Chains A and B, each alone.
Chain A
Amino acid sequence: QVHLVESGGGVVQPGGSLRVSCAASGFTFNSYGMHWVRQAPGKGLEWVAFIRYDGSYTCYADSVKGRFTISRDNSKNTLYLQMNSLRPEDTAVYYCAKDVVGLADTGGGVDYWGQGTLVTVSS
């Protein structure tokens, strides 16, 4: 059974940094691309970033490009999102999610989601 558990959320001041993690189990982690998706309070879903199964390719939403970095450690079955230069508008629940298709060069849809971790950017 696929299990995704995010951690590392919290309160950070504007301009600060935070790294959130996602521990994966129940599937062959190094065979699937992974995504981060966020949801601001009371708002809709926003795709944030994707990383290929082997870490060789990443892509980002324009709203976070240059500030956020997605990475993975396949030896630890863990996905990361490093968030720098945080802004109040980055306040959201951050979900990690597994891509539907294995060994895909680029991202597609997601099939499994974690429960999310809340990041609050406020002074």
Chain B
Amino acid sequence: SYELTQPPSVSVSPGQTARITCSGDALPKKYAYWYQQKSGQAPVLVIYEDSKRPSGIPERFSGSSSGTMATLTISGAQVEDEADYYCYSTDSSANGVFGGGTKLTVL
């Protein structure tokens, strides 16, 4: 079955740039989406269709995709950005797939 691979954890100091990667064979043909989930809360969409930012999401969040890898970048990470981040895409049959999640620590 199709898989999206993320690093389990990323750690940065406040104000630094955090990059979270997501690799998958279908990403050249399928959009990537990124979700932020804080403890005990429902996920929130932070990037859709590879690089678009929903209204209300801070400009420090950006996304890109090249080949089989999508990347979520948080420029000038803040303490409040500490959360689990999940990438999401679809396979050739249009079934949804989430990456395993990346725990972002900002300290």
Given contacts A62-B1, A108-B31, A109-B88, contact A46 B98 (CB under 8 A): yes
B95 within 8 A of A: yes
User: 1/0 per residue B1-39: CB within 8 Å of A?
Assistant: 100000000000000000000000000000101010100
- Number of A positions contacting B (CB below 8 A): 24
Say whether chain A's binding surface is mostly helix, strand, loop, or mixed: strand
Contacting residues, chain A, for B33 (C-beta < 8 A): 100, 108-110
Chain A minimum-CB-distance residue to B84: A44
A103 within 8 A of B: no
Question: Is B90 in contact with A107, judged by CB distance below 8 angstroms?
Answer: yes
Chain B minimum-CB-distance residue to A57: B94
Docked complex: B67-107 residues within 8 A CB-CB of A: 84, 86, 88-90, 93-101
Complex alpha-carbon distance, A59 and B31, angstroms: 18
Binding site for A on B (CB under 8 A): 1, 31, 33, 35, 37, 42-45, 48-49, 54, 84, 86, 88-90, 93-101
